[in-house]
Amino acid sequence: MCLAVPGKVVKIEGNKGIVEIGNVRREIFMHLVPDVCVDEYVLVHAGCAIETIDEEEAKITLDAFKELLYNEVRR
């Protein structure tokens, strides 16, 4: 099973970029999404942006992750 996490692109330099997921920023490879722009959202898997997604879908997924984490912490 694979998991891809949505993140917001905050910087692009060549085939690498900085993506923000929650409060964490990571450098990732952007070569699979060459037309992506800063402030767009991408799905990140294994250090690579694998596809662009719209902001609404990204926020729905991130909210679901937050809810799962919150419920786990409450246990």
pLDDT at 2: 79
CA–CA gap between residue 26 and residue 18 (Å, rounded):
5
Give the global pTM. 0.87
Spell out the domain ranges in the chain: 5-74
* pLDDT tens, position by position, 16-70: 999 999 889 999 999 999 999 999 999 999 999 999 999 999 999 999 988 887 7
The fold of the 5-74 domain, in CATH, is SH3 type barrels. (2.30.30)
Q: Across-strand partners of 58?
A: none
